[in-house]
Amino acid sequence: METSSFMSSLNYIQITTFFLVVLGVVMLLVSIYTVLKFMQVLKVNEFEKNQWYVIIVLIFFFVVGYTIHALDVFKVFSFPVDPALMVSLIYFFGAVFVIRAMISTEDMVKSILGEILTDNEAYTIFLKRLGAVENDFPHLKDSFSITCEHCNNKITYTIADVVRQHSNIGDKGVNTQTTFGVRSILLRPTHKCVGGRREIITVHDGDLAYRSIDQSRIIFGEKI
């Protein structure tokens, strides 16, 4: 009885606010769930995921803010802040949320495209991966050129490029193979090709001098 009288006492602004806030909170909770799922994928693929915790915290603040605002509208609880300031706070944290989300997305895209590592960092990762030191490879910092048989484009790459292109993969685009005691180092430079992004296995000798190309494959489809 009390509930129905409370509902009948609400004006159209309060009713609209109620539905909008409930809908907004539901969407925010779904967003938290989505980010948590998304972080599981990041974990598998070795992406930096700490910054996405900040996104979750910000979403959670929005849930709290929406709820307080709704309670304030219904006069259940009066938040000791001027309503105009409250709106400004929500706007401000909305902007913080957007910039944080953009930075995180940019970092992830750069990471996927391998633009985060400097050349020196990439060479260090390469040497660590092979358990070697710089002097082991006379051709470590050379630039190599191959031609893709699918798009006929000339592809120029360095070891640093390969490491960057595979920065989120355990092997960093580098493998070794020993055949009859002869060591080969296999690199997988990628390029934009017909039908998507293609990686070509290139074979280098123990000094990292280019030897030949091996098989290639599309690693991302056309739409990525």
Partner 1 sequence: MKKVHIKSIGTVIPLGDGATGKSLITKLLIKNTKDLNEALKLAQDVKKSLNIELEYCNEELEFEDKTVSTTLQYHVFPGQQQKISNSAPTFHEIVEIFNFLPSLKAVKVILMVFDVTRLESLKSLESWLAVAMQREWISSETKIILVANKIDILKPNKAFIEQVKNGIYQMLTAENINVSREQISSIEVSAVLLEGTQELRNEIFDWVALNGKQRIVEE
Q: Which residues bind partner 1 (CB under 8 A)?
A: 177, 179-182, 184, 186, 201, 203, 205, 211-215
For residues 30 and 24, give the distance between their C-alpha atoms in angstroms, rounded to a whole number.
10
Instruction: Quickly count: other Cβ atoms within 10 Å of residue 148's Cβ.
Output: 18
Is the distance from CB of 159 to CB of 184 less than 8 angstroms? no
Instruction: Quickly count: other Cβ atoms within 10 Å of residue 93's Cβ.
Output: 15
**Nearest distance from residue 128's CB to partner 1, in Å?**
24
Residue whose CB is less far from partner 1, 210 or 220: 210
**Nearest distance from residue 157's CB to partner 1, in Å?**
18
**Nearest distance from residue 193's CB to partner 1, in Å?**
17
| Greatest CA separation for the chain | 89
Instruction: Quickly count: other Cβ atoms within 10 Å of residue 182's Cβ.
Output: 9
Residue 188 CA: distances (Å) to CA of 4, 20, 110, 197, 212: 69, 51, 19, 12, 12
Residue whose CB is less far from partner 1, 110 or 150: 150
Residue whose CB is less far from partner 1, 120 or 145: 145
Residue whose CB is less far from partner 1, 39 or 151: 151
Residue whose CB is less far from partner 1, 118 or 212: 212
**Nearest distance from residue 131's CB to partner 1, in Å?**
21
**Nearest distance from residue 199's CB to partner 1, in Å?**
15
Is the distance from CB of 159 to CB of 124 less than 8 angstroms? no
